Structure 1
Amino acid sequence: MKLAVVGGGSTYTPELIDGFARLRDTLPVTELVLIDPAADRLELVGGLARRIFAKQGHPGTITTTSDLDAGVTGADAVLLQLRVGGQAARRQDETWPLECGCVGQETTGAGGLAKALRTVPVVLDIAGRVRRTSPDAWIIDFTNPVGIVTRALLQAGHKAVGLCNVAIGFQRKFAKLLDVAPAEVHLDHVGLNHLTWELGVRLGGPAGEDLLPRLIAEHGDAIAADLHMPRAVVDRLGVVPSYYLRYFYQHDEVVRELGSKPSRAAEVAAMEKELLALYGDPALDEKPELLAGRGGAFYSEAAVDLASSLLGGGGSGVQVVNTYNNGTLPFLPDDAVIETQARVDASGATPLAVPALDPMYAGLVSHVTAYENLALEAALHGGRERVFKALLAHPLVGQFEYAEALTDKLLAHNREHLAWA
């Protein structure tokens, strides 16, 4: 089995490698190719990856290359984890929206739109080249904004499934609170990527007893602290929102908070510099503890499970993914991309039935889906007016003057990445 990782020079990659090594019975990779144009980073990450495999006795080979076509040729699955513009572009996404009093964040709001505009054309080019060299390969997208990118891939006819680590993070945390194995925990996880709610926490599968009320009653303080939200929010909702809902539920407070401290991008850039220095140590043969602060917790377990299920192996067969709605949420079009539990096999992902979504949540999901439609149009076809309309439609912007000013700022900061600008 051959897997290719586009963006293999990412400091995330050792987390992925560690999962491949530990879970080799679930996903028996024989050849792993790390692909990245940044040759210096790639060799540091590739060297550590080989040492991790060697230490854990994994028989597979790991190669590195900057040649995308050669790297993906013959692959059974291709994982996308790229960042167009690097941390410098992320730092901009997190700062210029604040100048207009809007949330500065890399996956939602104005910054999220900028990332989508930079990313979608690049991902579609990569996917087209994968299809030419390996037409049967599955594309697993971990590249943000996952919902928009996955819809672009599916709309273009690619074999693709989107993946985020939010759900598996909740599953692991709830399992620890309940003192059960993570595999026993089934989430009623519903919404869009980075706009989801845990409507239920069930043991043993979709028909199991819902223990969410008990979790909130007994562990509400810990759950709320993890979300960086007041306990009263969780109690009044009676469900557990993704921590990304904080940008919507506490917008003004978050804007003040973000404006008073260094950007997350600056923190990550400093961390990456330290991580790359560690990766260059020939004695290091395991993922360093510092990597836990980089983000992406449990990404490797989620990726292994998804790839194994898609490739007919030993995956769980049921997993939270990003895929076409196809009637799951009746108030959305079939071709909207949602994030929910799905049955996954060699034919792809089929969403499971979900509880009815309260109008309070359904309204926001509909609103953001409309924005995502406009964002994808702007990413595919360009044009200042399309960018403006997408910003005006976003619930974190929504005002004419803000949308005008943010459009100018977005274009000014991203011209080098937008062929049409």
Structure 2
Amino acid sequence: MNSKPGLKVATIGGGSSYTPELIEGFIQRYKELPIRELWLVDIEEGREKLEIVGELAKRMVKKAGVPMEIHITMNRREALKGASFVTTQMRVGLLDARIKDERIPLQMGLIGQETNGAGGLFKGLRTIPVLLEIATEMQELCPEAWLINFTNPAGMVTEALLRYSGHKKVIGVCNVPFNMHLSISKMLGVDMDRVHIDFAGLNHMVFGLHVYLDDQDVTSRVLEMLGDPDIQLTMKNIAPLPWNSNFLKSLEVVPCPYHRYYYKTQNILEEELDAFELRKTRAEIVKELEEGLFELYKDQNLDVKPPQLEQRGGAYYSDAACNVISSIYNDKKDIQVLNVQNKGSIADLDYNSAVEVSCVVTKHGPIPLTMGKLPVQIQGLIQQIKSFEQVGAEAAVTGSYDKALLALTINPLIPSDDLAEKVLQKLLEAHKEHLPLFYKEQSVETV
């Protein structure tokens, strides 16, 4: 692969605390993925973090001895020009916006979370217009580049990009399937390469339809193990509430950690309300963690990704991005779980919808594997969340109050239309600065 020209990669949201993991991933793969230029881009409000992370990235590259140039810039167009791949890891409104997404719904007795329910919708409303701008710039400045997005809510964001952008080379990545694969392999006491899982569903709504150990279907065995309260398949940002063993047995497919929001709604809400009272919502905890991480990143002697980053809750996000980039560049034809256009993979969903499924990754991009019809026991919930994502994406693009209200009312975590409207109004006001489409001046016809 060294005969190929070096690559240029642009990372939008380069000041993210996850960036050292991305750098580590590129360093580890340098022989197969010769990135000569990595451009880290951010906005003015993120300048300090970008400079801290950028300097750490330079130290990491120097220590590794790879000829990768790290560029730090606020000029997005300069970074995009001629890029082969673009990764996006943004948070419009920074962590303070996430705190609002979590605390305002909880004030009204609703689950507050950055990718589910009201909070998830509003993160999408703020994020989608910005990503559509980036996609438009890519059409002009790097039309052949792949957009690799791991900005949440990744499902709704991918849906919007596929439906409303002219740039169709879009892939959403998530760490949840990787974490599930890793955790299940550990449960079974074997290496990951011996375990195969057929994944199908949506982002943060994905199920393991079948689990294979070598050539043997061990799905029932895995579900039985997950029913043991001493065994937890969860993540840093989700309460490790044990599953009901009889429920798992009847479900017959492996849920992801985020399914607790839908199958254990009351339990999750009680946990979150307790954290709300203590001012220890996940967003507030993450803000503290981030402050500690950036103090570490400032250390001029630090030249590796610190292990404390794994406490952040998004471990392996960046690694997932590195994997898909390398597989496209090298035409590996390996299987990865990605957010892509359905194209008939899941028979119960629209051909053009964004889905999260197992894909074969080629030089032409990911090809979703055919999963057929979903089991009836999960079909309805997935279709409901897909409706929420589609209507939410439309609201983000149009700035429609009515569509935003409809999206919230569709979501199963919002129990009534009246409550949906109340939380909608409060969140619209709280995020007014970052929702210009919802506050655009109405033109007045004059006679």
Asked whether the two chains share a fold, i.e. TM above 0.5, the reply is yes
- Give per-residue Cα distances to partners, 1:293-333, cap 9 Å, x unaligned: 0122222331121011222x164532100011122222211
Structure 2 counterpart of 1:249, from 233, 243, 263: 263
Q: Is the 8 A contact 2:11 2:89 kept in 1?
A: yes
Kept in 2, the 8 Å contact 1:305–1:316? The answer is no
The one-letter code sitting in structure 2 at the alignment partner of 1:149 is: V
* Correspondent of 1:87 among 80, 92, 95: 95
2:394 and 2:233 mapped to 1: Cα distance?
Answer: 37
Check 1:217–1:251 CA distance in 2 against 1; reply closer, same or farther (3 A cut): closer
Post-superposition offset of 1:25:
2.8
Amino acid at match of 2:160: A
Cα distance between partner residues in 2 of 1:314 and 1:400: 48
Q: Which amino acid aligns with 1:128?
A: T
Greater CA drift, 189-198 or 149-158: 149-158
Is 1:61 aligned to residue 69 of structure 2?
Answer: yes
Q: Is the 8 A contact 1:343 1:350 kept in 2?
A: yes
Which amino acid in structure 2 is aligned with residue 169 of structure 1? N
Residue 193 of structure 1 corresponds to 203
Contact 1:310–1:344, Cα closer than 8 Å, also in 2 = yes
User: For the structure 1 residues 218 and 371, does the alpha-carbon distance in structure 2 shift closer, same or farther, using more than 3 Å as the test?
Assistant: closer
Distance 2:233 2:71 in 1: 42
Deviations 1:175-229 (A, max 9, x none): 233344323332111111001111222245xxx3222222333564354463533
Aligned residue type for 1:214: R
Find the aligned partners of 1:110 and 1:36 in 2 and give their Cα distance. Answer: 26
Correspondence for 2:216 among 209, 218, 241: 209
Q: Does 1:259 align with 2:273?
A: yes
**TM-score normalised per structure 1:** 0.95
Aligned partners of 1:28 and 1:314: how far apart in 2? 15
Q: Distance in 2 between matches of 1:297 and 1:220?
A: 25
Whether the 8 Å CA contact 2:346–2:372 is kept in 1: the answer is no
SS of the counterpart of 1:82?
Answer: coil
Offset of residue 398 of structure 1:
4.2
DSSP-derived class of the 1:63 partner: strand
Q: How far apart, in 1, do the equivalents of 2:47 and 2:250 lie?
A: 51
Aligned to 1:300: 318
Q: How does 1:272-351 map to 2 (within 5 A)?
A: 272-311=290-329, 313=330, 315=332, 317-351=334-368
Q: Retained in 1: the 8 A contact 2:155–2:203?
A: yes
2:286 matched to which residue of 1? Answer: 268
The range that moved more, 50-59 or 332-341, is 50-59
Q: SS state of the match for residue 202, structure 1?
A: strand
Which of 166, 177, 199 matches 1:157?
A: 166
Most deviating of 241-250 and 341-350 = 341-350
Aligned residue in 1 for 2:42: 36
Q: Tell me which of 1, 12, 22 is aligned to 2:18.
A: 12
Unaligned 5+ residue runs, structure 2? Answer: 1-6, 235-239, 440-447
2:242 equivalent in structure 1: 229
Report the AA paired with residue 436 of structure 2. Answer: A
**Contact 1:34 / 1:46 at 8 angstroms: preserved in 2?**
yes
Per the alignment, in what secondary structure is the counterpart of residue 260 of structure 1?
Answer: helix
**Counterpart residue type for residue 284 of structure 2:** A
Secondary structure of 1:201's counterpart equals strand
For 1:364, the equivalent position in structure 2 comes to 381
Deviations 1:161-184 (A, max 9, x none): 110010111112222333443233
Change (3 A) 1:56 1:234: farther
Structure-2 separation of matches of 1:178 and 1:61? 42
What is the TM-score of this pair, normalised by structure 2? 0.89
Mapped contact 2:309–2:315 kept (Cα < 8 A): no
Q: Distance in 1 between matches of 2:316 and 2:227?
A: 23
Cα shift at 1:139:
0.2
Query: Judging changes above 3 Å, is the alpha-carbon distance between structure 1 residues 56 and 301 closer, same or farther for their aligned structure 2 residues?
Result: same
Name the CA distance, whole Å, in 2 between partners of 1:397 and 1:304.
36
Q: Which one-letter code corresponds to 1:270 in the other structure? A: E
Q: 1:337–1:223: structure 2 CA closer, same or farther, 3 Å change rule?
A: farther
Please say if residues 44 and 279 of structure 1, whose CA atoms lie closer than 8 Å, have aligned partners that are also in contact.
yes
Deviation by residue 1:84-121 (Cα, 9 ceiling, x = unmatched): 00100000001111122221000010110101100000
Aligned to 2:188: 178
Instruction: Say which SS state the counterpart of residue 95 (structure 1) adopts.
Output: helix
Does the 8 Å CA contact 1:216/1:235 hold for their aligned counterparts? yes
C-alpha spacing 1:338/1:223, structure 2 compared with 1 (3 Å): farther
Amino acid at match of 1:253: N
Aligned residues: percent identity? 40
Q: Is the 8 Å Cα contact of residues 321 and 342 (structure 1) preserved in structure 2?
A: yes
User: Is the counterpart of residue 73 in structure 1 residue 87 in structure 2?
Assistant: no
